[in-house]
């Protein structure tokens, strides 16, 4: 084996592997939905807005939507077919806050994320700092 060709062969092998992985992942439809609606399209999205014709005449398919037309839709774990609101403290930029899934719901065609002020007791386990 010629050692001078080794870098070229390695780069070629990596490029081939990358191209194969992209080809295998492109438009993967191994698990189609039973409803026929794409996984990230809300079932309440009207049929007439699921495609759009571009200015060049190409038909574009909708790939993601979220509809909030149903009042009282909640996002606690297991309550919604697509989205889940989390119950977690927010520690970004030293913010003092808590996301509570019961504060997220729909009303009047809008997604509401209610903010409450007051004391809250938060208990959680940090595996890097303390023993359970």
The predicted structure's pLDDT at residue 72: 92
Domain ranges of the chain: 33-67, 68-119
Distance CA 68, CA 106 (A): 6
The predicted structure's pLDDT at residue 24: 47
φ, ψ dihedrals at 97, nearest 5°: -160, 165
What Å distances lie between residue 24 and 21, 28, 29, 32, 125, CA to CA?
5, 7, 11, 16, 39
The predicted structure's pLDDT at residue 84: 87
Extract the residue ranges of the chain whose pLDDT is less than 50.
Answer: 23-26
């Amino acid at each position: 084996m010629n050692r001078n060709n080794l870098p070229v062969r390695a780069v070629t092998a990596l490029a081939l592997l990358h191209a194969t992985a992209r080809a295998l992942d492109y438009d993967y439809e191994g698990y189609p939905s039973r409803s026929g609606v794409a996984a990230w399209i809300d079932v309440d999205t009207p049929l007439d807005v699921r495609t759009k014709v571009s200015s060049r005449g190409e038909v574009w398919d909708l790939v993601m939507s979220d509809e909030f037309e149903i009042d009282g839709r909640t996002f606690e774990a297991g309550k919604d077919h697509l989205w889940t609101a989390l119950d977690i403290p927010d520690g970004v930029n030293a913010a003092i806050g808590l996301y509570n899934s019961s504060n997220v719901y729909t009303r009047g065609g809008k997604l509401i994320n209610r903010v409450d002020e007051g004391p809250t007791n938060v208990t959680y386990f940090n595996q890097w700092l303390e023993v359970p």
